[in-house]
Amino acid sequence: MPDTVTLLIDPVPADAVDVDLGATFRPVDATEPALRVGELSTQRGDGIFETIGVVDGHAQEVRPHLERLRNSARICELPEPNLAQWEAAIATALAGLPQTGEFGIKLVLSRGVEHGPAPTAWLAASRAADFSGPREHGIRVVTLDRGYDRGAAERAPWLLLGAKTLSYAVNMAAIREAKRRGADDTVFVSSDGYAMEGPTSSVILRRDGVYATPAPSGAILHGTTQQSLFEHLAATGERVEYRDIPIDELRTADAAWLVSSVRLAAGITALDGEPMPYDAETTAGFNAYLLTPRD
C-alpha cells in the first residue's frame, strides 16, 4: 500500500444537496504537475489549510479541524467549505493509507486561479516524521518577538491573525532563527510581553498544579490538540484555564509544552538557554492520550 494519497478536490458550495460527493474529487500522482501556474495559493499564499494527525488508520479530531477550516474561510472571505465533502475526501484518503503508523493529512483550500471563477482545493496525506525524540526528550525553545500586541486582531482584521492561512513563510523563518540560536523551536511573544503560540503549535504551562494556555484572543490559532488535552485534563480532575500569560510566567513555570496535531506534546527543556523543569511522566501521559483515537 502506498505511503501517500493526493486528491484534487472540486469544492462544492456548503449548502449543496443531492451531490455525489465521491465524484467531486479524484486521486492524482503527487509527483506529477497538478496545479495551474496562476494559482493564488502558490503566487500569494492566498488560501487556508489544516493538518490532521492520523494514528493507525484513525484521523484525529476531524470535526474540530473542519470547524477551524470553516472559521479560517470566514476570516479570509473564501467560500464556506462543504464539511461533508471534506469528510468524504478524508475517508477516501484513510482507505488508501496503511492502517498502522502515523500520517498527516493536509487539507488546502485556495482562492484559485486569478480571475478564475472557482476556488481550488486538494488533500495530501503522507507518512509523519519520527517525532519520538521531541516527545520523549523534549525541545529547546527561544522566545521571539511577534511584532504586534494582543489587541492587533481586533484592531486590524485584515492581518487575518486567527486564520490558518497558507502564508507560513514568517513561521518557517522563526523556526530557522530558533535553530540559529541553538534551539529547536520558538514561542512568539506579543509586543506587549505575552506568550502567544509556537509557529506550528500551541503553548501550555503548569504553575501551582494548574494548566494554562493563552486565551484565544483572535491573535493566535485555537489549537485542536490543546483543546483535546484540556478536555482530557478536566475530565481527569485537573484544573485548566485560559488567560493572558506574561512571558516571565513561562520562564518560572513548573513545566511547559508545545502541542500540535502531528508532533503531539513536546516538553520544553530550556527557554532562551535557561534550563526548565521537564516532567517526563506527565509528557508521556499526554502523548499516550493523544495517540488514542480521538474525535
For ligand PLP, how many residues bind (rule: CB under 6 A)?
A: 13
Q: Contacts with ligand PLP in 118-157 (CB under 6 A)?
A: none
Shortest Å distance, C-beta 197 to ligand PLP: 4
Judged by CB under 6 A, the stretch of 112-120, 155-163, 221-229, 285-293 that binds ligand PLP is 221-229
Q: Contacts with ligand PLP in 164-203 (CB under 6 A)?
A: 197, 199-202
Residue 147 C-alpha cell reads as 511584532
Question: Which lies closer to ligand PLP via its Cβ, residue 89 or residue 221?
Answer: 221
Class of residue 76 by CB neighbours under 10 A (exposed 0-12, middle 13-18, buried 19+): middle
Shortest Å distance, C-beta 54 to ligand PLP: 13
Binding mask 50-89 for ligand PLP (x = CB under 6 A): -x--------------------------------------
- Candidates 42, 58, 66; CA nearest to 114 is 42
- In this structure, the number of other CB atoms found within 10 A of the CB of residue 121 comes to 28
Question: Which lies closer to ligand PLP via its Cβ, residue 122 or residue 188?
Answer: 188
Collapsing DSSP states into helix, strand and coil, what is residue 53?
strand
Question: Which lies closer to ligand PLP via its Cβ, residue 138 or residue 199?
Answer: 199
Strand residue runs (E) in the chain: 5-9, 25-27, 47-55, 58-59, 102-110, 120-127, 139-145, 185-189, 202-207, 210-214, 239-243, 255-260, 264-271, 274-275
24 within 8 A of 233, measured Cβ to Cβ? no
Q: Which of 6, 143, 217, 261 binds ligand PLP (CB under 6 A)?
A: 261
Binding-site ranges for ligand PLP (CB under 6 A) = 51, 197, 199-202, 221, 223-226, 260-261
